[in-house]
């Protein structure tokens, strides 16, 4: 029980530090976009210390469905430009959905301390 409490505290601290230290990418253009009706489904794996695939490409207006399975330990995915901040429990699959309503390149990362390579667990969403 104490271990779970400590893990949750570390999760909250890590999220606060990441969000507080992250910045919006300078490589973006804000747009008001109506969804196109196109659904782009991407199956992903979160594992020490990578997201597979690491780079995702979609079109402006696509509804993006990320289906992410954490295969080894607990992870998280933080894609702040689209309001995504989801805990990924080991052995579980999570579905996340949002509209790609901005053009540009947007970084995402793991926000759960998942081991020594945690800091490099990153990827990019490219919206064309």
Task: Give the H/E segment covering residue 15.
Answer: helix 2-21
Quick one: DSSP state of residue 36? -
**d(C-alpha 79, C-alpha 102), whole Å:** 13
**pTM for the complete prediction?**
0.72
Q: Which residues, in sequence order, are CB contacts of 86 under 8 Å at separation 6+?
A: 68, 76, 77, 94, 96
Among 92, 37, 101, 39, CA closest to 69: 92
pLDDT at 26: 41
pLDDT for 22 equals 45
Question: What are 44-102's pLDDT values in tens digits?
Answer: 999 999 999 999 999 999 999 999 999 999 999 999 999 999 999 999 999 999 999 99
Q: What is the pLDDT of residue 36?
A: 78
The percentage of the chain sitting over the pLDDT mark of 70, rounded to a whole number, equals 75
pLDDT at site 33: 75
In whole numbers, what is the pLDDT of the chain averaged over residues? 84
- pLDDT of 10 over the 70 cut: no
Instruction: Please give the class, per CATH, of domain 2-127.
Output: mainly beta
Residues near 115 by beta carbon (within 8 Å), at least 6 away in sequence:
48, 49, 73
Q: Which of 118, 125, 123 is nearest to 49 (CA)?
A: 118
């Amino acid at each position: 029980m104490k271990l779970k409490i400590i893990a949750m505290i570390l999760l909250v601290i890590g999220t606060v530090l990441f969000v507080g230290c992250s910045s919006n990418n300078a490589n973006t253009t804000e747009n008001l976009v109506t969804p196109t009706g196109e659904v782009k489904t991407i199956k992903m794996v979160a594992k020490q210390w990578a997201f597979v695939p690491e780079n995702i490409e979609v079109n402006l207006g696509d509804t993006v469905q990320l289906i992410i399975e954490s295969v080894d330990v607990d992870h998280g995915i933080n894609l702040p430009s689209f309001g995504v901040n989801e805990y990924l429990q080991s052995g579980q699959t999570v579905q996340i959905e949002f509209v790609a309503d901005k053009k540009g390149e947007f970084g995402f990362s793991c926000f759960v301390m998942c081991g020594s390579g945690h800091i490099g667990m990153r990827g990019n969403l490219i919206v064309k």
